Amino acid sequence: MRYFLARWTLLAGGLAPLWAWSATYPLPPAGDNIVGGLATVTARQEETLLDIGRRHDLGYDQISTANPGVDPWLPKGGTRILLPTEYVLPDAPRQGIVINVAAMRLFYYPPARPGVPPEVVTYPIGIGREGWRTPVGQASVTGKIKDPSWTPPASIREEHAGNGDPLPAVVPAGPDNPLGQYALRLTLPGYLIHGSNKPWGVGMRVSHGCIRLYPEDISRLFADIPVGTSVRIVNQPWLFGHRQGVYYLQAFQVIDGGPDAHLERDLGEWIARQLPPGTPVPWQRILQIAQAGRGIPTALTGTEQQIRTPAEAIQPPMDAADGTAEEQAAPESSKAAARFWYLPVARFRDPGNAQKVMGLLAQMQPPVSSASSLANGVLTLRAGPYPSKTAAAAEAERIEKNLGIRCGAPLLDENPEKDVFASGETVTER
């Protein structure tokens, strides 16, 4: 079996750090508004959810909320981690910068370029903490500052002094500057889009109202954004999605300034404005999604299989040894009915190259869900799950056509870690 990298040689040549990958997606066709796709990875020993999140351009709240029950500081090697890398675009014009504070994500729509399909780039952000709310409204970029100094306002200096951490009148550029290396000045007085000298705060409510990005993300955004770019800041904890005839709901935790405490009333009124007249409303499902606020687009309509995808079906099957007594005692016919098929994609010795391919799979339309497993120093990447062998084989053809990757034969999930590659054959990475 051969695997070649002709479609992404430039990506693999001279690999950047693992966290250098950013989420850039082609805009969906007219009428649809969902980009990306869910994926899973296996936590490595001694890495945190913050490490995993940054490597996949996810903020702290985003990855931790998507993985309830997983210790964010010590997730334990071998733990399956869900990557919530699927997004319903904010309900706003697709131009310039759109920031959804509820999702803690920034979406940038680059200007149209001849011969290039329209795209959207999205980054995780940190926003204002309680009492220092990031304002919503319209603005524009008025200036770009490299190596900015920071002049903290009197209110912030008083707060720091009261905490025994006095600030100077001006914090010079450098590693101690909370603005990081780049800042975008806005028409909103006193507010910036900037980097941070404390990147692990991205994806949290920690700022005094400004919008923080990872250092590697602000450097890209800074290079791409022209002065005058429009900036629209919205607070949309509920997003109504549509993809290929299926309706989805993506819900985040409601923060201050959002819908009030009357969740059922507000949600009912909102959803009634979204669904076409006469559409059956799965109200209990909608309410559960909103109350959980996990930020995962979940199907509301469609076939049973579509409703399970991507929110539930993406989760890899549990190993038999990890199941409950009832699961292990289930009749064989019951177990067989619940099986899914997986598609062996490739093996890698370099985790960075494996991550690049996972990113490419996630950017296909529709996206391909994938996960990796490590054995004897080699990462095996597999796509799935699929409801049938035929569906998996069809996906293999699509992957080869789009990415030039020749996948292995589909396998049932009864032994997903099985080495399906020819003895001694490993991906040639260049």
Residue 130, Cβ density class (10 Å: 0-12 exposed, 13-18 middle, ≥19 buried): exposed
Residue 235 half-sphere exposure toward CB, CA atoms < 13 A: 15
Residue 210 designated active-site: yes
User: Helix, strand, or coil here: 6?
Assistant: helix
- Which residue of the set 56, 194, 208, 407 is catalytic? 194
Per-residue DSSP letters for 8-53?
GHHHHTT---GGG--EEEEPPPTT--EEE--EEEEPPTT--HHHHH
Helices (H) and strands (E) in the chain, counts: 12, 22
Residues 6 or more apart whose Cβ sits within 8 Å of residue 194: 148, 179, 180, 182, 183, 184, 210, 211, 212, 213, 218
Residue 242 designated active-site: no
* Amino acid symbol at 140: S
Residue 164, Cβ density class (10 Å: 0-12 exposed, 13-18 middle, ≥19 buried): exposed
Per-residue DSSP letters for 215-231?
HHHHHHHHHHPPTT-EE
Two tokens at 139? Answer: 């603005």
In angstroms, rounded to a whole number, what is the distance separating the alpha carbons of residues 405 and 412?
20
End-to-end CA distance of the chain: 18
Two tokens at 357? Answer: 């391919």
What count of other Cβ atoms lies within 10 Å of the Cβ of residue 9?
Answer: 10
- Which residue of the set 210, 242, 262, 407 is catalytic? 210
User: Helix, strand, or coil here: 290?
Assistant: helix
| Ramachandran bin of 69, using left for φ above 0, alpha for ψ from -120 to 50, beta for the remaining angles | left
Peptide bond into 310 cis (omega under 30): yes
Which residues participate in catalysis according to the annotation?
194, 210
